Amino acid sequence: MDEIETIIMTDPEGSRATVLASQGDERLRLRALGEVGDPADFGLITAALGDPALRCAALEALAGQPDADGADALARSYLDDPTPDVRSRAAGLVAFHGRPNAVEALLPLTRDPVAHVRMKLAWDLGALGGPAVEAALHRLLDDPDEMVRKSAARGLTRKVRHLPHADIRAGH
């Protein structure tokens, strides 16, 4: 991955061809395509979502795609995936894009049966802010898992980014 990252930084124009031609770990290739951020790769990345072994890497790659609405819609469709890591990465992508109703889409995960998902979610929610997020994070301060409680406390102290959607800032 270091070699590909170097190519992306030094030759942005030629980096996509290099990444597409690279052999080896498909997860690394997907992540590299996410770094390149070329909209022509949206279909290639979304096709990888069909493979459970590549799903997490594909969700990460979607963060670099310019079609934030499309990436957000796809991520939301994986919030109830049977694999905890997939749910966690999908939640991170939904929070990252901060589209309308992101908070409402993420709040059910505060009751996820896997502590790691709740822990990561607490951090992600902290970036969104708003009354609904604050209330959810306060509830997570009483979570049975210590790491979830710590993450909720850190989420409450995160600097809330400026989001263009008033409904997210208001927690609607």
pTM: 0.81
Q: The dihedral of CA 18, 35, 39, 57: what is its sign?
A: positive
End-to-end distance of the chain based on CA atoms, in angstroms?
39
Q: Where are the beta strands (DSSP E) in 25-168?
A: none
Can you tell me the distance from the alpha carbon of 106 to that of 55, in angstroms, rounded to the nearest whole number?
19
Q: Mean per-residue pLDDT for 31-38?
A: 82
Can you tell me the distance from the alpha carbon of 126 to that of 137, in angstroms, rounded to the nearest whole number?
8
Residues 6+ apart with CB under 8 A from 95: 102, 106, 124, 125, 127, 128
- State the DSSP code for 108: G
Of 4-18, 27-41, 43-57, 131-145, least confident by mean pLDDT is 4-18
Can you tell me the distance from the alpha carbon of 31 to that of 141, in angstroms, rounded to the nearest whole number?
33
Amino acid at 98: G
DSSP tally for the chain: helices H, then strands E = 12, 0
Assess whether pLDDT exceeds 70 at residue 165: no
**Mean pLDDT computed over every residue of the chain:** 85
Quick count: other Cβ atoms within 10 Å of Cβ 157?
Answer: 8
Of the ranges 23-27, 64-68, 86-90, 155-159, which is most confident? 86-90
Q: Mean per-residue pLDDT for 79-107?
A: 96
Cα 96 versus chain centre, distance:
6
